[in-house]
Structure 1
Amino acid sequence: IEIYSLRVDCKVTSRFAHTVITSKIVNRANESREATFEVELPKTAFISNFSMSIDGKVYPGIIKEKASAQQQYDAAVSQGQSAGLVKITGRKLEQFQVSVSVAAGSKVTFELTYEELLKRQLGKYELLLKVRPKQLVQHFQIDVHIFEPQGIRFLETDSTFLTNELTEALTKVQNETKAHILFKPTVDQQKNPDVGETLLDGDFIVRYDVERDATAGDIQIVNGYFVHYFAPHEMPVLPKNVVFVIDRSGSMAGRKIEQTREALLKILQDLRAEDHFSFITFNSKVSEWRSSLLEATAENVASAAAFVQTLSASGGTDIHLALLRAVDMLRRAEELPERSVSMIILLTDGQPTSGETKVEVIQENIRKAIGGKFALFCLGFGFDVSYKFLEKMALSNGGLARRIYENADAALQLQGFYQEVATPILMQIEMHYPENAIEGLTKSNFKLLFEGSEIVVSGKISNELDLLPVEIKAQSHTSDLTLKEEANVKEKEQVFQNQSYIFGNFIERLWAYLTIQQLLEKSISAPAAQQKALETRALELSLQYSFVTPLTSLVVTKPSEQPQAELANKPTEAG
C-alpha cells in the first residue's frame, strides 16, 4: 500500500482556519489490502466533511444526530465490526482513523476537512498541523495561506522534525496582510539518510499575531455576519489575590508532588509585588500555610518557597473543606487593593474521598460560597481525576478546567497554565451592540480579560444597518473605561471581496462554531432543565453547518461488500 500523494491545505482567514487533508493511496500488491487514513487534528477543531473515493466512486461521510446514528449502528456494532474512529491522543490532539479494503491495483482518495477558530494565548495564535505519513511520499506538501485584514505583526514557523535539508523545502512569502507558507520536500529530503525511513514525524506549527490599532478592537463583516475582536495592549496589570489549593493525598506521591513543587517554585518567582497570595494544602486534613493572604514581598515569597520544598504526599482527599477554607480566606482578607482580581487555583489528581464526597453537593456548596465573587480554576492531574466534576465546578465559578498530563513536562504545563491567568488587565467587560439590530449574539459579557488573550464576539446584523456602533465598558486597574467604535458595514464587507482563497461565508461559520462551543460550555454548568434546551440548539446548529461536535456523529459509508457501520464521534476531555 503506497501513499503517493499527501496534501494539507490550510486557509486561515481572520483567525478562522479551514484545513483539508487529502491522501491518495494505491494498492501495488496483486491482492486486496487494507488502506488506512489516519489524521491527528486539534481537539478544538470540528470535522466538517469527510469522503473516500475508490476508483472514482465517491463514498461521502454523513453527519447525523449522535443518538439516532448510534441506534442505527448498534446492530452492526453488536457484531463487533465497529470501533470509534476518533480518540484523544494527547493534550492538544485527537486522532481520526478509517480503514477500507482496496482491490489489487486500485486507488483510493481520502479527504477530511476540519475548521477551528484559532485562540490567542500568550500573545499569539497557533496553527498546529500533525505530520505523520509513516512512509516516503512522492508528492507531499503543506500549503498554508493566511489573510488577516488587520495586518500580520509577526509570523514564525516551528517544527519538531525539521533538519537542515528539510528547511530548504520550506518557503515563506509575506506582505502586510497575507502570508503563504509552503513546505514541499522531495522524497530525498524526506529520507533519513541512516535508515532510509521518513523524517516527517511530528508537529508543524505556524504562530503569528496581528496588528492592533483601534482601541475598541477590530470588526469584520461578511454577508451580514460580523465578528468583533478585542485585545487591548499596554494596559496596566490588575493586582491579583490568589489562593493555591494543593492536593497532597497519597496518590500525589512520587513524581506528581515533585513536579508540583517544581512548578510552584517557578510560579512564586512570577508573582508581582502588588499581588497577595497564600497556600492551602490538603489530604484528609486541610492545612493553611498562613491564616491570611500575604503580600508578595521578597521575604514572603522566600518563606513560601521554603514551605513548598517541604510538601509531601499521603492520606485521603478532602476537596470540599479545602475549597471552603480558600473561599473563607479570600472573604476575610483585608487591605487588598481596591481594584484587584481574586482567584482560587485548585490542583488535584483524584476523587474526593474524605469529608463530603458527593460531587453534586460539593459543586453546589462551592458555588454558593463563592457567590460569583471569585474565579475558580481547576487543574486535574492525570486520568484518575473526574474531569467532569472539576470542569463543572470551574465553569460554574467563572474559571476553567485544564487536564495536566502525567508527562515529563507536567511542571511546564502547570507553569504554562499559570502564565495564562497571571496577568489580568480588565474585569467586568461588557460589549454592547444595538439591541434591535443584532440577532444570535454570542457571549458578550466577560468577567476577566488576561494579557495576551482576546475577546471574540460574533452575531448577525439583522436589518439594513449602514453603521454598526459598538461600545465596550470595563474596569481597568486605574479607571472605568468606555470605548466606542463605529464600523461602516459596506466598507467592511469589501475587505473580503475578490479574495480568491476566502472560503464562502467564513464569518457565518465562525459564528456557528463559536455559538456551538459556548452552548456546550454553558450546558456543562446549567441546571438540568436548561441543559436540554442548550443542547437542542447546539445540535440544530451542528447539523445545519455540518460540524462533528459532541452531539453529532459522522457516519462513514463504504462499498457494499465491506463491513459497514463506522461512526466518528467527537471525544471530550471529560470522556
Structure 2
Amino acid sequence: MIPNETITICVVPNTDIVVVVLCFFFMIVLLFKCCHICFYSTLYNSDCFKETKPHIQELSVQTTIISRYAFTAVSCSMLNRHSAATQGVFQFHIPTAAYISNFTMIVGGRVFPSQVKAKEKKMKKEGGENNGKKNKNTPEQSEGEMEVFRMEVTIPGRNRAVFLLTYEELLQRRLGRYEHVTSVRPMQLVSRLSVGVTVVEHSRITYLEVLPLRNGKTPSSNGNGKADGKVGPPVSTVVRQNDTFCKISFTPNIAQQAKIATNGMLGEFVVHYDVERETGTGIGDIQFQFLLNSFPLSFKIFSGTDINGGIQAGSALLGDYLSSKEESHHNSVSLIIFLTDGRPTVGIVQSPAIIGNTKAAVQEKFCLFTIGMGDDVDYRLLERMSLENCGTMRRIPEDADASVMLKGFYDEIGTPLLSDIRVEYSEDAVEYITQNLFTNYFNGSELIVAGKLTNHSSDSLHVQVTASNSERSIVLEKDMSIHEREQETERRLAEAEAGPNVNGYVERLWGYLSVKDGLKGRLRSQTSAERENYTQHTTNLSLTYNFLTPLTQMIVEKPQVLADGTLAQTQKEAEATEAPPPAESSSQLSEDDNNLTPQSLHRNQPPKPTSAVSKATSGVSKLTKKSVTLSKTSADGDPHFVVEVPHSKLTVCFNINGEPGHILRLVTDHKHSGVTVNGALIGAPAPAGSHKEQRTYFNTITIVADKPHRSYIEVTPQKVILDDRDRMILPSSSSISVQTANLGVVIIANTNLTVTILGTIQFVILFHHYKNPAPYQRDHLGFYIANSKGLSKDTHGLLGQFLYEDIGLTQLNGNFSMARENSTQEPLGKNISLPSCPALKVKDRTVTVIKKSRRIYSGKQTVDCWFAKNNAAKLIDGQYSDYVVSHLFDTGDWANGTNTH
C-alpha cells in the first residue's frame, strides 16, 4: 500500500473553461526553455559596478498561485542620482518553464510598453543553428532551473526608471510537493525590498515550508560563499495561513540584507507546499508492487562519445530481459536512463540518424529518459530522443552538484505506479483538450488536463480515468459539480485577497498547456508541412495570450536621451528581444510597426518624476482591487444605460438611440469638481430581424479634470492617452498602473481601465474586443461610475443627473396610463378597466416603466431594473439633443443651467 497516494479529480471552472487535475499523476516535464528573452555570458560589464550606476530604490516581486498556476509581477525602481545620463540595467532570473506575458519600462515619467509579435522566418543569424548551446559558463544559469531576463536603458540625469516584468508558470508536483522559487538578486542593497507569495488552493494545504535562502550549490550558502548554518525561513519572513490559502512575505531591511550578502545576491526564496489528496475514489484499496532488477554489467572506457552505440546496447539489454520475462511482467513499467556529458563524436554522429535508430531500438517497449551534464551537450538531440520515446530530458549544469541532482531525478522516476493513463469525458462535453493520454505516472507527481466546456450551462462534468498497474487495469469515474466549484473558487480568492490579477486564470492555464503541447508536437514533427502546422497554431496561441515563446519576439521601444540629458520626443527604433528555442538561432532586430507601437511625447519643459508606476498584470494590486468594485450605474453596449439611484434604492434603465458621430455628455460637474465625461458613438448595421435600423456603440470616451489643473484621459478600445503635464500613450493590451499629480490610472490588459480623480472619484471603462466580429459588432467601450464621492449635487449628464436624484415608484391606474401614452386616440369606454401599471416620479414628471433584466459587466451579472421607453423621454431632463456636445473635450455647462426642468 502506498500511503497518501489516492486519486483526486477536481474541476475549476471559469465561465467556459475547465481544468481537470488528477492530483496524484505526473505532470509531463516541460521540456522547452521557452521563455528567455536575453541571455548573457556575464552578469554586468565592469562599468555597472562603478558609483555612477543607478540606485535601486525599490524591488517588489509578488506572486499569486491559484490551483498551481502562478502569476508573478516584478517591479524595480531605479534612480539616477547624477546630473549626467547613465546606463541602467534591469536583470531578473525567471524559471525556465515560465512564459513572460508583459514587460514595460517607465523612463523619466514616460511609458514604453512592449509588444509580442511572431518571429519572422527571414530573421536568422549568419552561422545557422547554435546546436543547443546557451551562454557557456554563465553564473546566471548555474542552478539549471532559471534563465535571465536582461534589459539596458539610458536613464536621464536626476530621473527614475521603473521596470515591470510579469511571467506565468504552472507548478509541477515532484516528490510529493510543489516548489515555487523567487529570485532575489538585485546585485545591490535595496532600500525597499519585498517578496510576496499568495497560495490559494481548493484542497486543504497540508504542508507548507519556507526554506532558507538558496544560493550556490547548497541551500545554506550565502552571497559571500559562506554557509550561515541556519535552518528555517529567512529573517523577516512572515507566514499567514489557513486551510485553503497562505500569504508569505519576505521584507528584509538593508541591515538584514547586508548580513545575508553585501553584494545584493541574496539568492532564491523557496516555498514548498502540498495539498490534501481526496480519498474514497476507489484507488486506496489497490496494492502496488514493484520490481527492481539488477544486471551484471561490464564497463569499457572509450575516447569518444558514442550516443548511438550506447542507446543500442542498452536497448538490446533491456529488450532481451523483457522478452524472457514477458508474461510475468506484462504490465510492468520499464525505462532506460541515458546520461552523457558530450556531443556524439564517434560512431553515428548525425542527429536524424541517431533519433531514427533510437526509435527503432526502443520499439515502444519502454521509455527513454535522458540527462545531459555540462555545457558541451546537444540538448536538443537529447530532448528529441526522450520526447519521441515517452520520456523526459534533464540538464545538470557544469558547476552543479551532479550527485544531488541525479538522486533527485531518480527519486522522481524511481517509483512508477501506473502506466497508459487516459483521461476521457462525456461525449461532446469538452473540446480543445490538452494532452490526455500519458505513458506513466510516478509516485509524488501530478498530471493536469485542461479543456473547454461545450455546454456552458451544464451543472456537472463526468470524467473517466483508465490506467494499468503491474497487476490489473483500473477505471476511475467521477461527476464534478461545475457551478459549486466556481462559487467556491470566487469565495476563496476573495478570502485570500488575491485581487483581479488571477481573473481568467483557468483559460490562461489552458493557453499555457496548449502552447507547451504545440511546441512538443513541433519538435516531434516528421515533415515540414506538419512542422509548419504546429508552428502556425502555437504562434497564434502565443500571440493570443501574449506569451513570449520560442516562436515569438518582444518588441521594446527604448527612449533616446539627448546630449543635454533630456528625453527626445521621438524614440529609438524598437528593439526586438525574444526567447530563442534550443538549437535555433535567435532573431535580429525587426522593423517596428508604426500602427501598434506606443508613443510617449513630452512637453517643452524639464522632465519631472511626476509619474509613478505600480505592478503590472498579476501585480496590479491595491489600487486595482478597489477600482474593480463597480456600481450598476453605467452606459454599455448599444448603448444601454443602467442607473442605481442611491437616494431611492431603485435601479432604472433606458436606451439611447443615438446617431453615429454624435458625442454625448455622460457626466458633467465642471464648476465644482472640474470633471466632465463625454462619449463618441460609432454605428453598425442592426442584426437580421432586429427592430432597430442600426446599432451604436461608444468607441471613444474622454474624461477631463480641470482642477487643480487641466488634465484629461482619452480612451479607445486600442489605447489610452493620458495628458497630465506629461503625455503618455498606453496600449490597452498592456497591464500597467500610472499615478500622476492629478490622476490615477490602472489598466488590466484587454479588460478594463480604472481612473481615479482627486483620490475619490472613480470611473471604470471596460474594453470590448471581438476576435471574429459579426457585421453588427464593433470593438467598443463600456462606462461605469465606481465611486461618485467628490462629485457635487449639481452633477448632470445622462448618468450624472441621477447621482443625487430622488425618484419614487408608484402605481398608475391602467386607464390613466393608457390615456397618457395614447392621447391622440379615442377615449377608452367607461366599462373597460385595465390593471394598474408601475411608474416613476421624477421631479414633477411621471414616467411609466416596465420591469426588465439587464446584463452588465460584460454579461457577468444580471440586474433587475425599471425600464423607461422612448429614448428615456421624461425620465431624463430635457431631450436627447441637449446631451449632444460639439467635441470630445467640450466642458460646457448643462444647457438648461439647472437640474430642474
Pairing 1:320–2:308 present:
yes
Deviation (angstroms), 1:378: 1.4
CA contact (8 A) 1:87 1:94 kept: no
In 1: Cα distance, 2:413 partner to 2:441 partner: 9
Q: Superposition RMSD on alpha carbons, in Å?
A: 2.7
Which residue of structure 1 aligns with residue 111 of structure 2?
58
Q: Distance in 2 between matches of 1:143 and 1:191?
A: 20
Cα deviations by residue, 1:37-95 (Å, 9 ceiling, x for unpaired):
11111001000001011232111011111227958x99xxxxxxxx9xx9972311111
Q: Deviations over 1:127-186 (max 9, x none)?
A: 111101222222111111110111211111111359779944110010000100011112
Match of 1:489 among 479, 482, 488: 482
Question: How many Å apart are 1:339 and its aligned residue?
Answer: 2.8
- Measured after TM superposition, the shift of residue 362 of structure 1 is 2.1
SS class of match (1:67):
coil
Distance 2:465 2:206 in 1: 24
Report the AA paired with residue 513 of structure 1.
Y
Identify which of structures 1 and 2 has the higher relative contact order when contacts are C-alpha pairs closer than 8 Å and 6+ apart: 1
Residue 25 of structure 2: aligned partner: none
Decide whether aligned partners of structure 1 residues 113 and 25 sit closer, same or farther in structure 2, where only a CA change above 3 A counts: same
In the alignment, is the contact (CA less than 8 A) between 2:210 and 2:233 conserved in 1?
Answer: no
SS at match of 2:547: coil
The aligned residue for residue 363 of structure 1 is 355
Q: Secondary structure in 1 aligned to 2:559?
A: coil
> Following superposition of structure 1 onto structure 2, how do residues 109-508 of structure 1 map, counting pairs within 5 Å?
109-158=162-211, 159-160=213-214, 161=222, 167-192=234-259, 197=262, 200-214=265-279, 236-237=287-288, 239=290, 274-278=291-295, 289=298, 313-333=301-321, 334-335=324-325, 337-463=329-455, 464-498=457-491, 499-500=493-494, 501=498, 503-508=502-507
Alpha-carbon distance between aligned partners in 2 of 1:312 and 1:318, rounded to the nearest angstrom? 12
Question: In 1, are the aligned partners of 2:332 and 2:469 still within 8 Å (CA)?
Answer: no
CA contact (8 A) 1:169 1:183 kept: yes
Amino acid at match of 1:151: R
- Does the aligned pair in 1 maintain the 2:141–2:397 contact within 8 Å? no
What is the 5 A alignment of 1:86-105?
89-90=141-142, 91-105=144-158
How far the C-alpha of 1:531 sits from its partner, in A, is: 1.7
Give 3-state SS (helix, strand or coil) of 1:397's partner: coil
State the AA in 2 paired with 1:425: L
Q: Which moved more, 1:375-384 or 1:334-343?
A: 334-343
Between 123-132 and 346-355, report the one with greater CA deviation: 346-355
3-state SS in 2 of match to 1:496: helix
Distance 2:79 2:383 in 1: 45
Are residues 1:570 and 2:582 paired?
A: no
Report deviation, 1:215.
5.7
Structure 2 contact 370–394 (Cα < 8 Å) conserved: yes
Aligned positions of 1:524-535 closer than 5 A: 524-528=523-527, 529-535=529-535
CA gap of 1:375–1:396, structure 2 versus 1, over 3 A, is same
* Equivalent-residue separation in structure 1 for 2:513 and 2:118 (angstroms): 19
Report the alpha carbon displacement of residue 191 of structure 1 after superposing the two structures with TM: 2.3
User: Contact 2:65/2:200 (CA < 8 Å) preserved in 1?
Assistant: yes
Residue type of the alignment partner of 1:188: A
Q: Which amino acid aligns with 1:213?
A: E
Once residues 103 and 436 of structure 1 are traced to their aligned partners in structure 2, the CA distance between those partners, rounded to angstroms, is 59
Gaps of 5+ in 2: 1-53, 127-134, 215-221, 562-570, 585-901
Residue 433 of structure 1, CA deviation:
0.9
Cα distance, 1:346 vs structure 2: 1.2
Q: Distance in 1 between matches of 2:122 and 2:541?
A: 17
Q: CA deviation at 1:541?
A: 0.5
User: 2 CA distance for matches of 1:522 and 1:101?
Assistant: 41
Letter in 1 for 2:64: K
- 1:9: how far off? 0.8
Give, in angstroms, the shift of residue 30 of structure 1.
1.6
Which of 100, 103, 115 in structure 2 is aligned with 1:47? 100
The one-letter code matched in structure 2 to 1:120 is: R
Q: Secondary structure at the match of 2:389?
A: coil
Separation in 2, partners of 1:233, 1:39: 44
Q: Which amino acid in the other structure matches residue 424 of structure 1? A: P
Contact 2:556 2:576 in 1 (8 A): yes
Task: Kindly state the Cα deviation for residue 386 of structure 1 after the two structures are TM-superposed.
Answer: 1.4
Match of 1:7 in 2: 60
Post-superposition Cα deviations, 1:325-350, rounded to whole Å, max 9, x if no partner, equal 32222232223534311111111222
Give the Cα–Cα distance (whole angstroms) in 2 for the partners of residues 456 and 358 of structure 1: 35
User: What is the SS of the residue equivalent to 2:114?
Assistant: strand
CA distance in 2, matches of 1:139, 1:318: 53
Q: Shift of residue 199 of structure 1?
A: 5.5
Partner secondary structure for residue 540 of structure 1: helix
Q: How many residue pairs were aligned?
A: 485
Match of 2:556 in 1: 556
Shift of the 560–31 alpha-carbon distance from structure 1 to 2, 3 Å rule, reads closer
Bigger mean CA deviation after superposition, 537-546 or 487-496: 487-496
Q: 2: CA distance between counterparts of 1:135 and 1:152?
A: 35
2:73 and 2:166 in contact (8 A); partners too: yes
Residue 542 of structure 1 and its aligned partner are, at CA, apart by 0.3
Higher helix share: 1
Residues in 2 aligned to 1:153 and 1:574: alpha-carbon distance in whole angstroms: 41
Conserved? CA contact 1:236–1:476, under 8 Å? no
Matched, 1:540 2:540: yes
Q: In the superposition, relative to structure 1, how do residues 191 and 403 fare at CA in structure 2: closer, same or farther (>3 Å)?
A: closer
Greater Cα shift, 18-27 or 158-167: 158-167
Contact 1:125 1:208 in 2 (8 A): yes
Q: Does structure 2 retain, via aligned residues, the 8 Å contact 1:348–1:380?
A: yes
Mapped contact 1:47–1:113 kept (Cα < 8 A) = yes
SS in 2 for 1:129: strand
Would you say the 8 A contact 1:236–1:425 is kept in 2?
no
Listed one character per residue, the Cα deviations across residues 215-244 of structure 1 (whole Å, up to 9, x for unaligned) are 669xxxxxxxxxxxxxx77965553xxxxx
CA contact (8 A) 1:153 1:208 kept: yes
Q: Tell whether the 8 Å contact from 2:108 to 2:155 is kept in structure 1 after alignment.
A: no
Structure-2 separation of matches of 1:471 and 1:124: 25
Secondary structure of 1:363's partner?
helix
Q: Tell me how far 1:532 sits from its aligned partner.
A: 1.6
Q: In 1, are the aligned partners of 2:515 and 2:538 still within 8 Å (CA)?
A: yes
Q: Who wins on radius of gyration, i.e. which is larger?
A: 2
Mapped partners of 1:540, 1:182: distance in 2 = 37
Quick one: distance in 2 between partners of 1:38 and 1:278? 49
Matched residue, 1:223: none
Q: CA deviation at 1:29?
A: 0.8
Output the amino acid matched with 2:546: S
Distance in structure 2 (CA, Å) of the matches to 1:472 and 1:462: 20
CA drift of 1:351 comes to 2.8
Contact 2:188/2:264, CA 8 A, preserved across alignment: no
Within-5 A mapping of 1:18-29:
18-29=71-82
Separation in 2, partners of 1:33, 1:407: 34
TM value normalised by structure 1? 0.79
Aligned amino acid, residue 468 of structure 2: Q
TM-superposed CA distance for 1:527, in Å, is 1.0
The CA deviation string for residues 534-574 of structure 1, in whole angstroms up to 9 with x for no partner, is 12111100000000011111111112456544332224455
Cα 1:327/1:59, change in 2 over 3 Å: same
Judge which range, 152-161 or 124-133, deviates more. Answer: 152-161
* Alpha carbons 1:10, 1:19 under 8 Å: kept: yes
